Amino acid sequence: MWSFFYKLASPKWFYELAGKLLPWFAIGAAMSFALGGIWGLAFSPPDYQQGDSVRIMYIHVPAAILSLSVYTFMAITAIIGLVWKIKLAHMVSANAAPIGAAFTAIALATGSLWGRPMWGTWWEWDARLTSELILLFLYFGVMALRNAIDERTTADKAAGLLAVVGVVNVPIIHYSVEWWNTLHQGSSITSLARIAKPAIHADMLWPLLLMILAFKLFFVTVLLMRTRNEVLDRERRSAWVGELLETRDGV
């Protein structure tokens, strides 16, 4: 296991492995988006209270879930980079930040669209909404701090530390509907027990699960693409990148 871990830390090995995996994740994401999107937006039944506005959840819920999981992933890879001094881990962490910020912005925007007809307002300083907004600022902070420092090693460490400190906001967001009196409804799918006996009808649950899968596969696809590009940029003076460019020019 440890040999695989350190092998994965090799920029050359990661670049080659990511190139092989990319098409599979991309195809899986496209198929999941197509199936889940058509099923959820066109064929799933309307809610007995919310009507057709419930279809926003097929975008909102996956984006909200990914906003939390991507930040947690970013913090974990930052810890790996800080503790074991693996620069590839810092690259992965840094390239996850813009994707996570996009998911967070989508979650906030779609939540606002849903809140207008349901709550009668576009925004409410609700515990869940406010902590989610703070998460967006944390993403922006990590990206801004990394770009503000010219020396890459120092920038990686500073951004990594901020990512690790900011992860405390993730459980606050997750449990905010339980800890405080909030307008936001509780989660319908938080565990395998809930999936076994879900709080929503199966005709809504399955397209929702497909869309969550689609968002996750999309995240991995974009992350691999972005990280491969940064690997090439950072390793452009190394022998293996030179050989790769010569091979491509030869073709």
Q: pLDDT digit string (tens) for 124-143?
A: 888 889 999 999 999 999 99
Q: What is the mean pLDDT of residues 85-106?
A: 96
Please, which residues bridge with residue 47 across strands?
Answer: 51
Confidence check: pLDDT of 4 > 80: no
Give the model's pLDDT for residue 193. Answer: 41
Mean pLDDT, the chain, as a whole number? Answer: 89
Out of 112-116, 159-163, 193-197, the most confident range is: 159-163
Please, which residues bridge with residue 51 across strands?
Answer: 47
Establish how many alpha carbons lie within 13 A of residue 177's alpha carbon, considering only the half-sphere containing its beta carbon.
10
Q: Phi, psi at residue 31, to the nearest 5°? A: -65, -40
C-beta separation of 88 from 160 below 8 A: no
Residue appearing with tokens 């001094």: 85
Handedness of CA 113, 60, 25, 80 (dihedral sign): positive
pLDDT tens-digit readout, 37-57: 999 999 998 877 777 888 999
pLDDT tens-digit readout, 182-236: 665 666 565 444 444 556 778 899 999 999 999 999 999 999 999 999 999 999 9
Per-residue CA distances from 203 to 1, 136, 198 (Å)? 41, 32, 11
Q: Which amino acid is at 232?
A: L
Q: What is the pTM of this model?
A: 0.92
pLDDT tens-digit readout, 6-34: 666 899 999 999 999 999 999 999 999 99
Q: Which residue did the predictor score with more confidence, 176 or 212?
A: 212
Q: Phi, psi at residue 235, to the nearest 5°? A: -100, 20
Confidence band for 244, pLDDT divided at 50, 70 and 90:
confident
